[in-house]
Structures are given as structure tokens and as C-alpha cells.
Structure 1
Amino acid sequence: MTTAPHAHAHRRERPFVPFALPDTIAALPRRPFAFSRAGLDAAAAASADPGALYRLLLREQESEAPLLLARRILDAFLHPDGDRGSGPQQAPDTGDIATEVAEARRQLAATARSLRDLDPEPRRAVLLQRAPVTLLAGCWLASVSQPATQPSVIVNRLFTHHLTLRGNGDTRRGLTHLRRRALENEGIHLPPIAAVDFLDKARARPLTALHGCFHLALARLPANFLPEVVGVHYAFHTLGTDDLLTATPPPLSEDELGRTLATYLDLAGPDERRRLHHAVRLTLDLEREHLTLLTELASRQTGLTLEAKVAEIISRHAPMAGTQHGSVRVGDRLMSDIFRSRSHPREASAPPDLAAFLTDLRASPYLRPTGPGHGDCRLTDATKFGGPMFGILDERETATLRAWAARVQAGERPVIEIPPDTVGREQAERRGTAIARSAPDDIVLAETEPRDHRELFHRLVNIENFPHTLPLAAERAERCFQDAEILFVHGSGGRYTDASWFDYSPQALYERAERIYWEKLIEPYRPLRDIPDRDEVLFRQSTFYLTYLIDGAWLHRLARPGHDERDSDAMLFAIYADEMGNGDLRKNHITLTHRVLASAGIELPHIRDEAFMEQDELPDNLYGFAIQQLCMCLFPDRFYNEIIGYNLAIEMFGSGEMRLHEIQKLRHHGIDTCYEQAHLTIDNFSAGHAKQAADIIVSHLDGVRRLLGEAAVAGEWRRVWRGYASFAYFLEQPLLKKVTEDPPDEALTELVI
């Protein structure tokens, strides 16, 4: 690990390369990953347990530590022996890769089909074990579309796949829901994937959790690992392991996957091709490895004696028993003593001898018949309603226990042998060791504050490489939300908004939104009689371009696995998909922005490039508005309420007087109006984004009411409305100057309207 150089080193020596459509980028330039000391320490303190890593990567997306762990996990999987130059040396073509994957699929398909055709009990064990991978399928696409990668040709192609996997806006038809239904048809009912007990209920082994960790790590850093994303995506879905195991149709056709691969390879250079090929081969290895685990698991499950199955049940539940057995004795020992090592993991003692325990248990009074029922005894009676073990075992476990009790009561006394369970252990230890030893040389310590707004904007756009900026981003976003509450009192005087406070009800929200739409945006419109000259028009437009170049950014992190289970999440994703043209580059709003810039003769580097910090076309004092969008979007859980309020404000602003005037002025001077025209139509309050944004708020708060009660709605609503006010805070600068002696913080600079 090294110390990061300041981002402004050699500032004037960088070449200016103007961005031009189409965006044919195949990989971002290699950059270090900058972490603070606190971030490094937090990652070092994180548990190395595979299940804990899985949960952390899935559930925590707003801090540095998961990003650092993701970088190390990717390094460990891609370069398990520490040789970062390993991997294919030739730059392959589409045919080479397709042939290699097709051959692997022929081999693996037979295994997958044999697992699907197992008897119900081992098949259920296989599907249950595979679930933590099955339900993550495609997670690496969740944030591949972001300010640093749009409007890339390959990213938009991948985004169309992401839309398909999410059911094209209807999550009930999305891949995750289809797979869940397939599992439920097999009697497998699992909690949400982000639930704290998901892995326990799936009985996930360490190797399964580690495979999930690789997929989740790729989902955390997709911009920096774009070649790997494409390679994993192509190989995983072309192999179709989960399609075969769950007997569900492939979500993406082989032809479409092949065309996407060919598109990428046409864009890629030799290094990107090698990286992709290496990721393809890794994916093939991982699927072979996991199918081997599933095969061994099925074989073990099939060969287990009834006594061994009972031992597994006891082993599974003993850690939670604590001292609840009190004075219960089996043989000559207290049960609390027998299982102390499981109940108290910190106590160094040998694991219990389950074979000896079961031998003693079947000789104990607890298995003597208590009634005429088959298998009735004190042990099974304890699992019935009112018994001390009621609700602890599931139906299958209870049935297994009763069958064993019946066998014991029938006088059967086979020698009890518990085969060691080593399925997947060696592979998990090997991959866990690789993660522990991983030390990528591109991880650096960085504590410096950004020198100015330009550098802060650059960091936020490329946040994967600047995680140490996250605390600053959270602080800025929160400060803006707090400052914006001044408009709760004075907001009615806004020219384009009304952020004044009102008590929430669905009807009150719709009435306020409609009044703003008509009274502030539509009715004031009159065609301009005098058109400003071209320079003035372009200057006014330049005050918008920075935010146009990150259009939709406030929503781009809201649809990640484990964070997309509310109805409002699907509705927000649908709006973001529209902003990105639903994968159609011609309709992508970032593409439209670049078209407008080109028609106006404005040349800029892409916002992801360091050279953008030196551009002189866009005014310096207008970065605050775009920075606020980029800051709040990095905290989709913490600022969810504020984001949906902000979403209402920005979508409503797309309609009405200002937009119509801009179209009139641009047309007069021969400048492309495509961006303004798109928002004038798509953001309408009849059925467009403005109306959808109000519906989203109502849906979310209705969910809060049903889950937490009416009293909780008020607190959530205040945060929603300050999100709306935060947009007005930038837009209504003349109003703010009237109502306060102190101008807004310079860090939240003016948007001149």
C-alpha cells in the first residue's frame, strides 16, 4: 500500500481530448483506489468469515470498508497465487471464447441435469445450497450504468440485459422472482436475500458464500472491472447452470449474449480482451467448483443414515440452545455441558461426540413411547404446540426426528456412525486464504481534502477509486438538506417551486404538486418576443450542462440486490431506465446532452477524465448543484426519503415555462433541442415522470404506514419534503437572498436562473 498523490499533480500537463459520440470505451484507465486510515482500519477489523463477508458486501453500500474488501476479493479470485500477470496471454476472438464456453457447458450441463433429477430430499438440499448464488445472478450489472461509464456503447448494451433480468420494469417477472417461485415449487421458502438469517436458512457452506462474495465484489466495482463484468456475465449466463437446476427458461438468449460479447471485443484492445478471457475462464472454474460441491453434497445426503440425519439436525440447532436445557441429562452428563462448545464458541473445548450422544439419547427415557402415535415420545412431544421445542424445527426436521424415534421404539439399534462433513471445505479454505493474503498494489492511503469543486466532482464521478471521499459526501448532503429547510417557511415565494411546509396526506401531496405544475410551470408561459443573442443563450445553457451530464445520477444506486424489494424501488428504477433510454443509446439522456454540446460547438472531455477538471466551457461557480446530486446518490439507504423528494422536484422542473423558453431560444440559434424536448414530453404530470414521482412518494409512505404505523409517517415525510426543498434551494436563489442576510454556503454555490 502506498500514499496517493494529490489529484492536481501535473495538472496542466494533461492532454485535452474532447469527448465524441459514440462512447467506445472498453475499460476505464487503471487508477489507484484511495482509502482513508479509518476505512483501512474498518476493513482490517471486518470478519473474515465467508458468511459475514457476504452479508457485508450485500447490505452495506455506503462506507469504505466493503469497497476495500471487494477489491481484495476480486484480487484473490482473479489472481489467487498473487501473480497478477497470470491468465491468458493471447487476445482471443469471439469464436475462441464461444467455443471454450460451449465445451464447458456440454460438460457441466450433464452434471446439472443429473442434480435436477435427484430424489426430492437431495434435490432440495442442492437447490437450497445453490440459492445464495442463484438469487444473485446478474448482480454485477446493478450499477454498471453510472456517471463514469455513461453513455458507453457496451454499458448500454449491458443495461438492456439488466432491464430484462429485472422484468423490464415489472419485478414480478424479473429473474429473481422467477427463481424464487421455482424454489418455492420445490418447497424451499427463503427470507429476502439481505435478511440476517438468509444464509443460515439456505444452509450455505463457506464455499457457496465465497462464490457469492466474488459476484458481489464485482457488483461493487464494475466501472474499474468492466472487462471482467462482461466476461463473467457472458460465461455465467451462457453456461446457464441455474436455468438447468431450476428448470426455468434462460433469461437471455445465447444469440444476444454472443452479440454482446462480439460488440465488446470489437471495442476492446489486447489488454481488455485478455482480462475478459481470464474472467471467462475463472467463471468456468467457479461453476465447475460449485457443481462439484453440489454433487458431493447430494451424494452425502443420499448416503446418510437416519441417525446421521438426526445428528445433523442436532448439530444445526445446538449452537442456539444456550443453557436452556437446564437440568436435562442424557447419559451421565447435562446437555448444557455436552453442547457448551457450540453454545459458547469462545470457550475452547472439543466439539461434542454426536455418535455417543445419540447412543445415550436412544437409551434415555426421552424416546420411550408416550402414546399410541407412531414415534410419540417426550422428545417429539417437545416439538408440538405448547412444548419447549415448538417452532424450532421445521416440518422435515420434525418428521425425521419422529421416524428415528419410531425406529428406536421398534427396537432397532444400528451402530451409529457420523461421516465427517468435508464437502467444499478444502476449496473454501484455499479461497479464504487467498483473500486473507490479498494485497493489491493499487490500494493507497489518502487523507487529503479535494482542493476545489472540480476535484470533488471528479472524485464523486469516479467514486469507486475515491472511497475516502464518502464521509465528506455524506456530510455535504446532510448539510444541504438541513439548510434547505429554511424553505419550509419561505418556499411559497419560489418562482418555479413551492417548498413551504404542509402536513402530508396523499391528497395533499397531489394537490400541492398539481398546483405547482399549473400555477408555476404551465400557466405563466408566454412565448418570448425577444430572443437573447447566441452568447447569452449558450451561457444560460452552460449553467445546466453540468447537471445534464449526470442526468439520472440521483437514482442510479437504488436498485441493488437486497435493496430493491419495495414497490417504490421498482418505480424509481423505471424512471432511471427511462433516463438512460432503456438501453437505447439514441434515447439515452447523456447521449442527448452530448448531441446538444456538439451542435453548440462546445468541446469537453468526458466527466470521468482527469482533463475535465481543467475544462473552461462550464462556469466554476455552478458545481454545487451537480455535487449535491452526486453526494446524496452515494447513500441510497441513508437518504432514501430525501432522494424520492428530490426526484419529485427535478422531474416536475422538466415541464413548463422554462423548458419551452429554452427550446424557443435554442431553435432560433440552430442548436439541437433534443434534450429539452425529451424532458418536456417525458416529465409531464399526466402520466410522465412528474406524476410517477408523486406516486412513488405515496407508495413509499403507505408502506411505512402499514409497517410502522401512522405515527412513523410524519418523520419520514419531513425528510421526503426536505429532499424536495434541497432542489428548490439551488433553483430559487433570488428568493433565498431576500429571506436571509447570509447567502447560501459557498460550498453549495448558485445555480443562476
Structure 2
Amino acid sequence: MKAPSHPFDPGLQPVFSGLASISLDKLPNSRDLFFSLIHSSEHAEILPQAYCYLKQHLRVVEQLYGKQLSSVYQPDCLTQLTVKSTQTTLRGYEDLSHYAPVILTEFYSLQAVSQAATSLSPLAVDVMAVYLKLTGSESYVPLFEGMLQLSGLNLPALHSRAYAKQTAIPDCLFDFGALQLGFASHCRAFFPEMLGFTLACCKTSLFSDDQVSEPIRQFITARQRLLSAQIPAVSAIIEHYIGLFPEHTATIWYRVQSGFYLYQQQAQCCQPLEQQLDSLSPQQAVVQLLQHITPKAVGHHGNIKLADKGLDEWFAQTPFDADAFLAALRQSPYINTATPEHSILLKLFDFGGPMFGVLNQAEKALLRSWLLADEVTLSPPSHKKIPFALPDYVCTVTPDITDYSQLSRRQLYYYLINADVFPGVLIKARQHVHSVLWKAQYFNRLPFKHYSHQVFADYMQGIYQAEVDSYQPLKDTPKLSKQAYIWGIEQFAPAILTDGCWLQHCKQLSFCANSAIGDILFKIYEDETGNGILEQNHPFIYQQLLDSVGIKLAPIHNQAFSDYSGFIDSAFDIPVYLMAISKFPSAFLPELLGLNMAIEISGLGKVYLRLAQELKFYGINPAIVNVHISIDNVATGHTALAVKAIQHYMDDILARQGKRAMQNHWRRIYTGYCSLQTASTVFKYALIVNYWLKRKQKIPG
């Protein structure tokens, strides 16, 4: 399959190596999918499952909302899309904490839209603008995280597998979060649905502010105010998108509605669950508790019996008859029927008792409520979740037959630009990164053996100062001709039209232990892509430069771009390496930090200062050079942020692993720093040689 001519073509769909279809019974559950997608850069095998998971849910929407889905689009259709009341009443911080899989992954898919393939698209820039408004200074996420900390709840980290195993959090909320993460992994393939999903989120009041504490009320109010404010911007993006493909208006509109109702369906799925928890009797609540803990209790009770049956025998039953067990327990000596609060059963869970630590305080309180209950309400029969698709439904996918192992770097460029469409390229990408890093480490020695913040800062300052001191202003005609510069501008197009691509997936780090570092790197990426303003987008600035000197190229996501014979082969060396390492921000984080440092400081000093003057001499707009000179500054710019990110990382390694590990990670950071030179060496020499040959052959520039 070849990628369509537009980066957001509604017909775009991914291909998967070795697969033609996926049966739904092979899909992971929502908890496992959530965990894998949080770490998607290390779990590429989950991508086809995530794709089919989304298809599965959208199929359900067609079944449930088929009569409401329309293929007729009118200008006022977006305003007529309304949501049903789906407000959930929160009983306290613990209820609110259950929504972390949803709140902390909200709108993650919006930033994923901004990637190398879409770098020049006004649509992508507008989507990023919405994302930055939702996550900027008015974001409600800090309020949410602050309440979780103040609550005293001891929850595992969101990125841990233990978090995904938290049974107190309903499955539907992990399902909700997995869908949001799935949209991020396949944001171009499901772009219409993602836009509809986002619009529904902005229009939906997910929580009721009745009978809640003041901090929770403030969170609910702040969230809804911010979301409502983005409705016009999201609607405008949808209208813009539909206008780009008039021949596909009916299809796009249908898909936008599907995404809209998918959000509504997820919100409604979670609402009854909360209401059901409120309506549980003490008996029903204890039954749920027992069903959770008894499978792990078998084999720990020896000869202890209840109603002439061993406890292990009770617990080993499939299914476990919790109501019969509790009835037998009420008739046992463990229960003091006269004064239930003094029952031996409760003392078993106190300090010094044989079951101390099995139940937390809330669970012991629940057990006490059951003992004091006057009436026993048997637990209702279990109800299976309404299936999300027909039992015989099979998700058909397009098989990928590309042999990535045989691709040149020129060919790799196309597939890495479109890695979300061709995820099979990721194996080759990782191999390429290892190859470059091995060379960088083998041919470079550490500038200093023992890392410290001061030594590192002094070293970087020395490099910067040497560059500045060697700068000499242009006093005469440049040594290179105008045609040489124009030819060079053309050769740098594959790299600079993907400017910032090495950080395009760094936001994934925000879910992990390195969240502060991820935030620093993403700030750099925001600047590279224009902070939601097209005129400040670096690839857009470079495209304007190309247009101004008469260089006409195909869009970078199109194979015609990389096939262009005017490029020398090594013009793809740098961007291929940068895009390849960007796919693995967790695995290669220290190397990525070093690489980022090298890229940012390279924009300062004599080379760029002199280049700006020489371009201006020939009447060539030096805007792309000037923007790097200013934004990469060592005081507050990208170079300063690059240093800060490395220092944060080394502090973290020192605190968690000690000095020896810190020195080992410094080796990795410096290898990443040197890898930029390793990846660009052939290109630098090839530029000189190829231009010399062009002049010798008198081929016009």
C-alpha cells in the first residue's frame, strides 16, 4: 500500500506485517491494552490489536446509534450534535481517582497528530493549538493530580502493570483510556473519528457537581469551562477537514458522528457502574470483595473448616458460591450474633491476627457493615458485559509484504515518515539506531570520565564559547556562489522539512517516571512545530524558503519526495536516524538527551551566524537560520532546556541507582551527543564532492 497524496486522506489505513485478519477473541483485555499502549514504543506488537480494538468499538456504535448516524452534512450539523446526560456523581477522592485512566490520557491523541508526516499541514497545526490550550496554564490536570496526592490514596504509578491490575477501578474506565491511547497510535487512520470523539468530550459534562467537596467542585468547574471553550475551535477543524475532501463529505461526516457517539457510549457505560456501586447492599459488596480475594487465598488455610467444608475447598469452587459461604459464616462461631461488632471475625484482621494486612481499612469497614446489617440481600446473578461486536466478527487488516531489511536509507525515509501506516518498519528502525550508536561510541572518547553538573555545564559552555569566539562577520563576497547555496537548500530539505522529528514521540515519557524530562523535551517540540501557529512552524518556514528560490518538491509523506533524483542519497542519513530514534523515547532516552543537546547547540555560533549573513547577501531569506539562532540560545532557549533535561535525568539516576550507574548513563548520553556527527559525516563530505562534480560537469544548479 502507498500512502495517499494528503497526510489526512480519509482512505488512509495501516498495514501490518504477517496479518490479514484478527479475530476479536485474540484481542487483549482493556487493562492489558491500556498498559501496552502507555508503553507503545516498546510494544509495537500491540498496534494491530489497538487498531482492531477501535474498529470493534466503532462497530458497536453503528449497532447502537445506527438510526442517528447520517451521511447528509449541512453547515449547522455540528451544532446539532448533542450529548445525553452522562454525569457521574463522585462520592469522594477515591471515586475521582478511579477516573485517572481517562483524565490523564485525555487529548493525548491530539498531540500525536503533529508528526513528521503532517509537519506542513495547517490541520495538524490547528489541532496542536487546541491541545496546547487544553494542557496549558488553565489545565485542570494539576488540580486532579493534586487531589490524588492530598487524598492519601496509595496508588501505583499510572505506567506500572500494577496500576492496570487495580480491581477497584472498573474495567470500563481502562477501556475508555485504552481507546484514547489507541486514537493516538492511529490518529491519521481514525482522524475523523478522533475529531468527533474530541468534540463530544468538549460538549460532555462527565461529572455532576452536586454534593461534592469544594476541591472536587473546583476541578469539575475548571474542566468543563476549559473544554467548552474549545468547542468552536474543534468544530472549525472538522469543517476545515470536511472541506478538503468534498468528494468524501458523506463518509467523513458519518465517521465524525461515529467518534462523537463513541465518546457518549463510553461515558454512559461508566455511569451505571458508579450508580450500581452506590446501590449495592453490604451483602452484595462483600460478595464482590470475596470474588476478588478468594482465588489467591487457596492453600493457606490448612484444616480450618466452615460448615464441615474446608476453607480451601470453599475458595477453590468454580464459580465461588459467595452467598452460601457468607450464610455459613453467619452461623459459625466467628460471628457474635448478640454484638456483631465484637465478632472474632473482625479480630482476625487486626494487628497480631492471622489475616492482618489482607484487608485495608475501607474493606474492614465494609465487613463490619455486613455484620451489622439487619437484612441480607443476596447478590444478583452475574451479568456478562454487552458484547461490543457480533461473536463471529473478524477485523480485516491489510497485510504488509514489504521486506524492510533490504531498504536503503532513501527508501527508509518514506516508511519512517509514515511509520503509523507501516509499523513493520520499526524493527529496521531499531536496528539502524543501534548501528549508529555503536559507531558513535566506538569512535569517540569521553571528554571527562566523572560526570557532575558543574563539569558538564562548563564543558558545554566551552563548546559554545569557542564557536562564538571563532565567528567572523562577512566582509566581502561569500566564497560559495548563490547557486551553491540554492543547491544546498535543496539537499537539506529532507532533514529540515522534518525539523523537530527526533522529539515527535517524547510526550509518551510524560506517562512514565521521567515525566518532568518528557515535559521539557515536549516544550522544545512545541517550539519546533510552531506552538500552534503555522507561521512559526519550522518546516513551514523552510517550505517558504524552498518556494522563494523556485524549488518544487512533492509532499514529504509522498514516496515521490524520497524518489526525487535531485537529492543525493546521503541527504536522507540525518533525518532517517532522527526519525528512527524518535520511535523509542524510553529505550534510548539517555542517547536521545545527548542527541538533542548536540542538535540544539549546533544552531549557535559561527556557522549559523555566518550562514545568515551569506544568505542575506544573495537576497535569500535567512528566516529559518535566524529562528534557530534565537530560539536555541543558551540562556533560556532550547540549549538551556537541553542542559536542564540532562541534569534532571542524571539526578534521577543518581537518586535511584547510585554514582556508578550515573557514570554509565553519562557514557550513553555522550554517545547520543556524538551520534549526530556520526549520522551526518557522509552527508557533509558528499555535499562537497557532489557540488564539485556538478560544477565540473557544468550542470546548472
TM range (shorter): 0.7 to 0.9
Report the equivalent of 1:278: 254
583-592 vs 201-210, greater mean Cα deviation: 201-210
Structure 2 residue aligned with 1:67, among 47, 53, 58? 47
Q: Indicate whether 1:311 and 2:287 are aligned.
A: yes
- Give CA deviations for 1:474-531 in whole Å, capped at 9, x if unaligned: 0010110111013433xxxxxxxxx645321111110110111111x21111123441
Relative distance call for 1:453 and 1:295 in structure 2 (3 A) is closer
Q: 1:266 aligns with which of 240, 248, 252?
A: 240
Judged with a 3 Å threshold, the aligned counterparts in structure 2 of structure 1 residues 666 and 241 are, in CA distance, closer, same or farther, namely: same
Correspondence for 1:454: 410
* Aligned-pair CA distance for 1:639: 0.8
Is 1:53 the counterpart of 2:14? The answer is no
Conserved? CA contact 1:375–1:403, under 8 Å: no
Instruction: Tell me the CA shift for residue 570 of structure 1.
Output: 0.9
Matched, 1:162 2:131: yes
How has the CA–CA distance of structure 1 residues 501 and 29 changed in structure 2, closer, same or farther, with 3 Å as cutoff?
farther
Distance 2:463 2:225 in 1: 43
Between the aligned partners of 1:709 and 1:264, the Cα distance in structure 2 is 51
Secondary structure of the 1:389 match is coil
Inter-partner Cα distance in structure 1 for 2:16 and 2:636: 44
Structure 2 counterparts to residues 475-554 of structure 1, below 5 A: 475-489=431-445, 500-519=447-466, 521-528=467-474, 529-531=476-478, 532-554=480-502
Runs of 5+ unmatched residues, structure 1: 9-13, 18-24, 342-349, 490-498, 738-753
CA distance 1:476–1:242, change in 2 (3 Å): farther
Letter in 2 for 1:134: I
Q: Report what 1:11 is aligned to.
A: none
**Residue 225 of structure 1: aligned partner:** 190
Per-residue displacement from partner, 1:557-595 (whole Å, max 9, x unpaired)?
A: 011363475211111111111111111111111111111
Change (3 A) 1:53 1:730: closer
Residues 337/509 of structure 1: CA separation in 2 closer, same or farther (3 Å cut): same
Q: Deviations over 1:163-189 (max 9, x none)?
A: 233335xxxx64433333456677766
User: Do 1:324 and 1:336's aligned partners in 2 also have CA atoms closer than 8 Å?
Assistant: yes
Matched, 1:430 2:379: no
* 1:555 counterpart (491, 503, 508): 503
| Contact kept? 1:164, 1:251, Cα under 8 Å | no
Distance 1:484 1:294 in 2: 51
1:385 aligns with 2:331: no
Q: Name structure 2 gaps, 5 residues minimum.
A: 211-215, 687-701
Aligned residues: 669
Q: Which residue of 2 aligns with 1:364?
A: 332
CA drift at 1:100: 1.8
Shift of 1:211: 3.2
Q: Identity over the aligned pairs, expressed in percent?
A: 24
Deviation at 1:355, TM superposition (A): 0.9
Alpha-carbon distance in 1 for matches of 2:189, 2:142: 29
Are the aligned partners of 1:142 and 1:162 in contact in 2 as well (CA < 8 Å)?
yes
| Root mean square deviation of aligned Cα | 3.3
Q: Give the TM-score, by structure 2 length.
A: 0.87
1:143 aligns to what? 112
| Conservation of the 8 A alpha-carbon contact between 2:198 and 2:234 | no
The answer on whether the counterparts of 1:93 and 1:265 sit within 8 Å (CA) in structure 2 is no
**Structure 1 residues 72-98: Cα deviation after superposition (integer angstroms, max 9, x where no partner):** 122222334999xx8955352442122
Q: Work out which of the residue numbers 196, 204, 228 in structure 2 matches 1:254.
A: 228
- Listed one character per residue, the Cα deviations across residues 251-270 of structure 1 (whole Å, up to 9, x for unaligned) are 63535322332244134224
- Secondary structure of 1:439 counterpart: strand
Which shows bigger deviation, 723-732 or 474-483? 723-732
In 1, the alpha carbon distance for the partners of 2:675 and 2:104 equals 37
Aligned pairs for 1:237-252 within 5 A: 237-242=202-207, 247-249=220-222, 250=224, 252=226
Give the aligned partner of residue 691 of structure 2: none
CA distance in 2, matches of 1:48, 1:548: 39
Please state whether the residue corresponding to 1:142 is helix, strand or coil. helix
Cα separation, 2, equivalents of 1:676 and 1:421:
65
Kept in 1, the 8 Å contact 2:36–2:43? The answer is: no
Question: Structure 1 residues 504-513 or 447-456, which shifts more?
Answer: 447-456
SS of corresponding position for 2:15 = strand
TM-score by length of 1: 0.81
Structure 1: how far apart are the matches of 2:265 and 2:190? 23
**1:231 touches 1:277 (CA, 8 Å); kept in 2?**
no
- Which residues in structure 2 correspond to 1:644-683 (within 5 Å)? 644-683=593-632
Q: 1:175 to 1:368 in 2, by over 3 A?
A: same
For residues 130 and 539 of structure 1, do their structure 2 counterparts lie closer, same or farther at Cα, with a shift above 3 Å needed? same
The residue aligned with 2:122 is 153
CA contact (8 A) 2:101 2:177 kept: yes
For residues 405 and 644 of structure 2, the distance between their equivalents in structure 1, rounded to whole angstroms, comes to: 39
Distance 1:281 1:665 in 2: 53
Residue identity matched to 1:358: L
Q: Distance in 2 between matches of 1:185 and 1:201?
A: 20
Contact 1:447–1:468 (CA under 8 A) maintained in structure 2: no
Aligned twin of 1:751: none
Contact 2:633–2:640 (CA under 8 A) maintained in structure 1: yes
Contact 1:190 1:202 in 2 (8 A): no
Does structure 1 residue 328 correspond to structure 2 residue 301? Answer: no
Contact 2:56–2:388 (8 Å) recurs in 1: no
Letter aligned with residue 524 of structure 1: S
Deviates more, 1:317-326 or 1:650-659: 317-326
Amino acid at match of 2:59: H
Task: Please name the residue that 1:33 is paired with.
Answer: 14
* Secondary structure of 1:197's aligned partner: helix
Does the aligned pair in 1 maintain the 2:52–2:395 contact within 8 Å?
A: yes
Identify if the C-alpha distance between structure 1 residues 721 and 388 changes in structure 2 by more than 3 Å, giving closer, same or farther.
Answer: farther
Mapped contact 2:61–2:261 kept (Cα < 8 A): no
Q: Aligned in 2, Cα 1:255/1:686: closer, same or farther, shift over 3 Å?
A: closer
Residues 186-225 of structure 1 aligned to structure 2 (within 5 Å): 190-201=155-166, 203-225=168-190
1:640–1:326 CA distance, 2 compared to 1 (3 A): farther
CA distance in 1, matches of 2:208, 2:410: 47
